[in-house]
Structure 1
Amino acid sequence: MDKTGTKIAMKTPLVEMDGDEMTRVIWRMIKEDLLLPYIDLRTEYYDLGLPHRDETDDQVTADSAEAAKKYGVAVKCATITPNDARVKEYGLKKMYKSPNGTIRAALDGTVFRAPILVKGIEPYVRSWKKPITLARHAYGDIYRNTELRVPGPGRAELVFTGADGHEVRQPVFDFAEAGVIQGMHNRDSSIESFARACFRYAISVREDLWFSTKDTISKIYDGRFRDVFQSLYEREYREEMDRIGTKYFYTLIDDAVARVIRSEGGFVWALKNYDGDVMSDMMAAAFGSLAMMTSILVSPDGVYEYEAAHGTVQRHYYKYQKGEPTSTNSVATIYAWTGALRKRGELDAIPELIRFADALDAAVLETIESGRMTGDLASISTIPDAKVLGTEEFILAVRDTLERKL
């Protein structure tokens, strides 16, 4: 609310992408307890819960991505990417692709993930003093792959047919038995968009940019990423990075992992799609909790999609369904909402909305630092006598802190 007690008005809707399981439960609690009492919330709603994706043959996911392009800002709940077990559990028509992968491909964006630092939750890596932001390429690799089960002996080939009809063939493997094949691709334009986004972000936060891959093994595929980054750096970004006192360097991903562990943090680490997926979870856990990692998808034309970096908290959801108590960390999901609201306020020139987002972020941190937190944080906190709160108890505690701040 503003100073007169009136709910904060919005000019343009957010694109709201609802999700699955325990995060869907948390999503509703956040809206009811932390947002709707203070904001005249305007959203264009898309239900990306797995049952509705199945009902629409996943068209709803594509529609939500188009809506994000239209309105410029989206906020997304965690969603299930089904495997065989999920197909059976939900009675799905087929095994749908990752909704995050579909949205990333549609927006051709880069994902920036960073830990939420709070006093009393110390990183497991003692040398880390500053956040490490992971920049994950959001297109291609195994998320857009083609797979084939090889039934028996035979030759596998990689075939490219040009627009002029010219054909290039390359042997993959001569199978003497059954096996599997996987084909991946990427596009020069997407790699370049990724590299530009990484350089611009690193410059904006005045931090060094690291990029790592495995070009000693994948000489053409990974080598193309390395060459695009180096070319852009030399042509467009070296001079500015030198001026502000930051640097760019490339190293192999195994060397980068060792360097990251020995570092004090405070840099942007750019990674290909799968590498970024894995390392962001590692980074989140090492900084304290998977539920303490923000995730922002930024497209080349300025579309922003905010979400938590973690999954749907399946184990807690099964307990919730049975009526058993849960203590699920909602911090990253709250930060997804505040990030989207803050960006909406910036784009639409609504300072009250920006101040509210800042106040809610601060209320979350103050609540934890006062010793009230969910079980995952209490188990690693250095705050004496930390009190474990249930899922909604924590959200209500944040609301109490927010009320005092407002």
Structure 2
Amino acid sequence: MKAALALTVVLGLLSLFFLLEPIVPSSPDYDVYQHVQACKAELGIQQKLPVLSCLDGKQVPIFVDQQEIKQANWDMLSNAKRCDNPHWLGGDMGCWTYSHLQVLKLDTDNIMVLNCRQKGNQLEKNWFRKTKANLGMDQSERKAQYENAPIAEKKEFYYLYNTFNDIGVILRNIKTGKSCYLTQYGEAVSGFLPPLDEPLPPKQEYLARYNPEQAKPPTDFPEALWYRDANQAFKSPAFTAEAGCVACHNPHGVKYSPYINSKQGLPDIVSMSKLPFLPVGKPFIDYFNKHDILQVTTDPIDGVNQLCTQCHNMTTSGTCGYSIDIATDHPTTTLGSWLTTSSRNSWMPPIHVDPALVKKHVAAMKCCCENPHSLGCKTRKFGPTLADLPDGFAEGKGWIDGQEASLCNSIEKSVQWNADKFK
């Protein structure tokens, strides 16, 4: 009897030990923890990374016909399937509501960007306009709906309030150009993100780390969605690299649009365009090299340097392609289908320039994007490591003149070339 009692006490103590002991992350080849450790070392981040909650971010408003989508007018977006100000210029996904963005200044050199998107309804994560839920509700309204719901319905309303299935974390040194990326998409997870540079704390401590004003999950909410380490909460670095983060973010480290820019706390795009792109981690470096990503510009046109590259870093992957079409009021059918008519204006260039000159610059830039080694075009390496940068990079040197025959140099000498396409 005494032996059985002693064994029970020992087992109880062991259970308590394992309950209170932090969960030590597993160590597959170059996992999330190793990536974050390398990022902090390369970027020069000395302190612990902050506790991240998607709900701390500022909700990105969505407008239709200049009216902000809210609970009372949700049908304007759900029925029309268009918006004025997509926060993501990649298709109709940019019109999703309930995206939260925050830009944290870690120190004088480094920023941390967290973007949390909620795509789909709370049950099947299907295309969000098919849901019967009112997704025009803001965070406070969703919280109130959850807190006032009957116990049997709380779990489903918590999904609407604090789960996201597209999460991106960017660490960026705004002086050196070194950059790091973490992502999760396609799988719903709670907006309470686990620590990135330390073990997962015991359950009793975990939820206490977050803002007490933010509602915590109900008892029947799946634990795997809110209590998981960084390797479970994010895709592996290798997966993230192949998913194309480098392809989109290489020009400036973070992705800009006319609606997500320095007004939301992102660094000034002009200053970012002057930096190299130095991704941390072998998977990201390998992706950059495999796709041979280069900076591209044109020869001066009528004695004027290329207008596009006065503010932007134009690259063969990231700012070339459909971005030019939509920014200069020539969206393709696919891209134009999710914009309201009133939003189809020319975003670029935001300066007063003779329209005839703009036509030539845009035409030449588009041609050089498609034929970067053509006569009339210039290319330059801008990453992925310091050893890859040409001598004098910081002074604007290292450009290589294109030598291949094409129409690009003819464009720069003719206002009339394809002028009908640039009205």
Q: Quickly name the TM-score band, shorter chain normalised.
A: under 0.3
* TM-score calculated relative to the size of structure 1: 0.25
Q: Of the two structures, which has the highest relative contact order with CA contacts closer than 8 Å and spacing of 6 or more?
A: 1
Higher helix share: 1
Q: Which of the two has higher C-alpha Rg?
A: 2
Higher strand share: 1
* TM-score calculated relative to the size of structure 2: 0.25
